[in-house]
Amino acid sequence: MRRLIYFVLAFLVWILVSWPFVDGRIDVQVVVAGLMASLLVALLFHDILPKEHHVFISPVRVFWFLAYVPVFFYYVLRANLDVVYRALHPAMPIRPGIVKIKTSLKTDSAITALANSITLTPGTLTVDLTDDGYLYIHWINVQAEDIEPATQLIAQRFEWFLHKIFE
């Protein structure tokens, strides 16, 4: 069942990324290549993909994922503008450092999604993850050094959605 779910998901991503629908017709070669690549991914990598595959077949979780995407892109855009400001400002107002944050997420998939969301947001990078729910984040402009305030500034905006999606 997991392989089938991952095959379908990989194929959907392939279709969305390659978009083989040009001038009212379908590019069959692109679709066949996508089917083969998706089958290969599903067969070879199903063991390392998240075991919480039920996440992908729940309409409620899909709804929360679709709600999360624009929120995530909003924070990415905001962070991009912030990093551009800091890079172009004559004084380069940065205060880089590594901060420790605590996540309330429990599943591996949720924690991975949080770490990736933080890393994909410009100005922050997930450096390490501990077994007891702490993440070490490199932050371009450290605004809080204590765990609670840093968690609120960096992770809390994502955690609420990720909890709805993965847990």
Indicate whether 69 and 42 sit together in one domain: no
The amino acid occupying position 32 is V
15 pLDDT more than 80: yes
pLDDT averaged over the chain? 89
For residue 4 the two structure tokens come to: 């089938």
DSSP state of 107: S
Q: Which of 44-48, 66-70, 103-107 is least confident?
A: 44-48
Give the pLDDT band of residue 48 (cuts 50, 70, 90): low
Q: Which pLDDT does position 56 carry in this prediction?
A: 61
Indicate whether 44 and 63 sit together in one domain: no
51 pLDDT more than 70: no
Distance CA(93)–CA(141), nearest Å, equals 8
Question: CB count, 10 Å around CB of 4?
Answer: 11
DSSP state of 95: B
Distances (CA, A) of 64 to 56, 60, 143: 11, 6, 29
22 pLDDT more than 80: yes
Indicate whether 64 and 45 sit together in one domain: no
Domain extent, residue 135, equals: 59-166
Indicate whether 125 and 144 sit together in one domain: yes
Distance CA(35)–CA(92), nearest Å, equals 48
% the chain with pLDDT above 90: 57
Indicate whether 78 and 143 sit together in one domain: yes
Q: Which pLDDT does position 24 carry in this prediction?
A: 82
Q: Which pLDDT does position 23 carry in this prediction?
A: 82
Please state the rounded mean pLDDT for residues 130-136: 92
Assigned domain for 135 exists: yes
Indicate whether 79 and 152 sit together in one domain: yes
Partnered with residue 99 across adjacent β-strands are 137
Distance CA(1)–CA(128), nearest Å, equals 32
How far is Cα of residue 95 from the mean position of the Cα atoms in its chain?
25
% the chain with pLDDT above 70: 93
